[in-house]
Amino acid sequence: MTFGGRAPARPFLLLFQSISAVSARTYFFVIPEATRPIGGVNVAIQMASYLRNAGYDCHMLHATAQFSYQYFRSNVPFSYLPELKQVLKPEALRKRLRSLLKNPSLLVRLPSHTGRANIRPQDVIIAPEYLCSEIVRAFPGNPVVILVQGMMPLAIANGREFRRGAETALKNVAAIVATSQATAEAAEMLTGRYCHRVTLCVGEHSQGFSRQKKLQIAYMPRKRPEQIRFVLDCLRSAPELTGVNFVPIDGVGPNRVDEILRESLIFLNFPDLEGFGLPGAEAMLAGCIVVGYHGVGGAEYFDSDSGIPVPESDMVAFVRQVRSLVLDYRTDPIPLDRLREAASRRIAESYSQTVFEKSLRSVWAEIDAGLQSAAPANK
């Protein structure tokens, strides 16, 4: 079988048992065996779910039979392939169970399991950008589509290939799909190839704009912990912020995230070289005043018309902006309420479910047509 100029090869993961499917091929979305909510995994499941509803046969693919991703509702079957262990390096089951016992509210619904995956020659592997080389090598006889959601994962994956003395695997895949303007431009610049763009849906689990707010500051502590600690220590001792509560968002499901954002007036944004930066956009949709960095990918929606941007890594400016914001809001909230309403409207219009579905449907029709046209050469 040949595809995209690659030489014929027998994939070591190839199994020939037929899979019942609406179309002639199955799309397997590879995901890590995560023990906490991960935005990129949520997006992959969301994409697979919509495509499945549109008639494409889609499965999530991981390494072990015991794994279930607990943090995102979907109708997508989960299949496992033990040979992926060497690629995904899954977490121990004990660690997963401990995470769930500590956070029982994260359990939403067990995904349907179809058992061990059977990969046929015509089936397509959708791989995250940080595993592009490993997946291409693991499935040498199958079309591979790379899903690019992050800037740093793409750079790190390319760096691994450079150290191996190999050309980036992105040049040898069937198609590249990006989820933001920044990641699409990066992938095209790296490969010299066209990159499909899917516009993300922001706030699938959100109730939208909230007018009533507490004088409360929400933040996500996972990225840039040292900077967050500096900013929070300074703010907690600032006289302007007397009586203001600080609420971390960490290790909770999407519904709880939306609850916290909807009640919080301010969201501190600490993205770090993001492909898009969903938290900031979700906070805007919920009516928060977003203060902080755009993290590169967030520049497509985060500017002075939608929030209060801070120069990259300027922690002192960050503190000053928040102190000034709280003082201004207590003095005259109307201009800042207008700002957050405009930001919410902008996100709702630009990153709606309708826009997401339209862009995904168009992209996948092109990819599927390309695979179909290449099929005669594969026989």
Which DSSP string do the residues of 160-187 spell out, in sequence order? HHHHHT---GGGGSSEEEESSHHHHHHH
Q: What percent of the chain shows pLDDT beyond 70? A: 84
301-336, pLDDT tens digit by residue? 999 999 999 999 999 999 999 999 999 999 999 999
Burial of 304 by CB count in 10 Å (0-12 exposed, 13-18 middle, 19+ buried)? exposed
Q: Is the pLDDT of residue 262 over 90?
A: yes
- Helix, coil or strand: residue 165: coil
Domains of the chain from N-terminus onward: 26-201+354-378 (3.40.50.2000), 214-351 (3.40.50.2000)
- Over the Cα atoms of the chain, what is R_g? 22
User: pTM of the full predicted structure?
Assistant: 0.81
Mean pLDDT of the chain: 84
